[in-house]
Chains A and B, each alone.
Chain A
Amino acid sequence: MESKAQWVALATIVRKEIKRFSRIWVQTLLPPVITMSLYFVIFGKLIGSRVGTMDGISYMQFVVPGLIMMAVLTNSYSNVVSSFFSAKFQRSIEELLVSPTPNVIILLGYCAGGMARGLCVGALVTAVALVFTDIQVHSWPLTISIIVLTSLFFSLAGFINAVFANTFDDISIVPTFVLTPLTYLGGVFYSINLLPDFWRFVSQLNPILHMVGAFRYGLLGTGGEHVAWAFAGLMVFTGILFAASLYLLQTGKRLRA
């Protein structure tokens, strides 16, 4: 397939994905905005005013980056896992598999769709956050690259989940039992400096903690001790997930008989 034709195929998948989540915006875009607004009101405004500061900044400012990150990663993941699994379930994925579209384009297309939704929700949540507090971006390049990489990382993770899933239950297991606990324990609502040494060490094994930390540093310029490591780690693990996803497509695992 010529490179121009590959671009057309990629644009087709991305357009289809954006159309899909836009068509059902009441299920995809609205709920995270409402949920995050409630978090801002309850944790940021009502409880936050009593908490005072966290790591040297107001509690509202502390939770904003984490909540944006939480919205981006869960929506990136959800979009790819539900869209790709639905395509597998309805067998409409065969439309792509019989076509000359290369596997890498299929993967990039679905990930771009997941990232589009994740970043779109992230932008909406940021807009809501601006109602409650001012955000002065410390480093645009770092902020953008961390959020984009995180979105890609969770899109790829959603893709792998969708490939292995056999039922609709299988696509909710990881978000419910893995993603949500890791996010809530990932420094979104509290600083791990509040924890005893042992739990602080355990928390540092949670990758979401480092993603949130790096994003918070990019946005506010605080807590940036491990940003370089977080960025490098995210790059490496995104690369590993990308290679694994491509391998699954090349071998046709759970997709071709």
Chain B
Amino acid sequence: MTAALSIKNLRKIYDNRFEALRGISLEVQAGDFFAVLGPNGAGKSTTIGIISSLVRKTAGEVSVFGHNIDTDFSAAKQQLGIVPQEFNFSQFEKVRDIVLQQAGYYGLPRERAAAQADKYLQKLGLWDKRNTPARMLSGGMKRRLMIARALVHEPRILILDEPTAGVDIELRRSMWDFLREINAEGTTIILTTHYLEEAESLCRNVAIIDHGEIVQNTSMRALLKRLNKEVFVFDTTSTLAAAPSLHGHEVVLVDEHSFEVEVEKGQSLNGLFEQLSGQGVEIVSMRNKANRLEELFVSLVNAKREGGEHGV
């Protein structure tokens, strides 16, 4: 089966000699919900820029559903919908006009363009704002406008670069639901995000990029399986002078009413509570310190930088 997106040995060296991509290769299958993770400056946006032709590559090949972006750019671009990180529409134009124009650039006849534009403006909750100049929209609405614009020609792949950055929780959740819906309808989705919870919740497969190289390319499930350590924060009723001594655990005192405990995969929490009870420490609440994926992400990136193993 032809991959939805195929990237081979992609390299990018900018005019200032900065090497943003060092020969990355990647395949995303049709229908996938794929996450591209990486710290700032890792090369995520450069990769999307090359796919969308806004950045000229130094070397390598990119194909979209088998259409090479160099030799068959028109067919390749027809398959793509791009939602960039920064707002890139005319602030003075009306919402509906922006979406209609984008449909026109993809060759959709006026009547079909209008039907498509109206459909996505309604789906994304922008119908009431259709005649409002884009500059009058809130940040969340502007993001939704960019999604409506990217979908108006019904692309087979939707690429979103940090789509929920700066969006409130409620809107983020509704955006997730919408993305799940269009993915279920068959659109392949590639997402870059800083919110690792977002990737964990939405994506089936993941690639982690750092310093222009792929650090990991695997399924989300396999990635999470590799996580073997979590940190829990315990809150106590009594005042603590020092961190409790717990056999087999690393313990750090946070303040006089809370401490952190590192728990390895397979270690019993019952044993931990028994030790705490034995020392007369009464626990009133307990929570996971950080997003598990975030910990894994940091350790993978650090391991690569130190030239060590990728395992955690």
In the complex the two chains form, is A252's CB within 8 Å of B78's CB?
no
In the docked arrangement, what's the CA distance between A186 and B1, Å? 66
In the docked arrangement, what's the CA distance between A94 and B89, Å? 8
- Chain B residue nearest in CB terms to A7: B107
A93-142 residues at the B interface, CB under 8 angstroms = 94-102
Asked if A99 meets B77 with Cβ closer than 8 Å, knowing A12-B101, A90-B88, the reply is yes
A97: chain B residues at CB < 8 Å are 53-54
Secondary structure at the A interface, as helix, strand, loop or mixed, is helix
Q: Is B195 an interface residue (CB 8 A)?
A: no
A-B contact count (CB 8 A): 85
Contact of B55 among A6, A13, A257 (CB under 8 A): A257
In the complex the two chains form, is B54's CB within 8 Å of A94's CB?
yes
Q: How far is the CB of A26 from chain B (nearest CB, A)?
A: 14
Asked if A8 meets B82 with Cβ closer than 8 Å, knowing A99-B102, A100-B77, the reply is no
In the complex the two chains form, is B107's CB within 8 Å of A9's CB?
yes
Contact of A257 among B49, B73, B78 (CB under 8 A): B49
In the complex the two chains form, is B90's CB within 8 Å of A90's CB?
yes
A1-60 residues at the B interface, CB under 8 angstroms = 1-2, 4-6, 8-9, 11-13, 15-16, 19, 23
Asked if A256 meets B90 with Cβ closer than 8 Å, knowing A4-B107, A5-B106, A99-B105, the reply is no
Q: Which of B54, B84, B86, B108 has the most CB of A within 10 A?
A: B54
In the docked arrangement, what's the CA distance between A90 and B84, Å? 13
- Chain A residue nearest in CB terms to B109: A8
In the docked arrangement, what's the CA distance between A11 and B97, Å? 14
Q: Is B310 an interface residue (CB 8 A)?
A: no
In the complex the two chains form, is A95's CB within 8 Å of B56's CB?
no
In the docked arrangement, what's the CA distance between A13 and B106, Å? 12
Residues of B within 8 A of A (CB): 14, 49, 52-56, 73-75, 77-78, 80, 82, 84, 86-92, 97-98, 100-102, 104-110, 149
* Contacts A/B (CB < 8 Å), 25 sampled: A2-B107, A5-B106, A5-B107, A8-B104, A8-B107, A11-B104, A13-B105, A90-B90, A91-B87, A92-B88, A92-B89, A95-B98, A95-B102, A95-B105, A96-B105, A97-B53, A97-B54, A98-B52, A98-B80, A100-B73, A100-B106, A100-B107, A101-B105, A256-B53, A256-B54
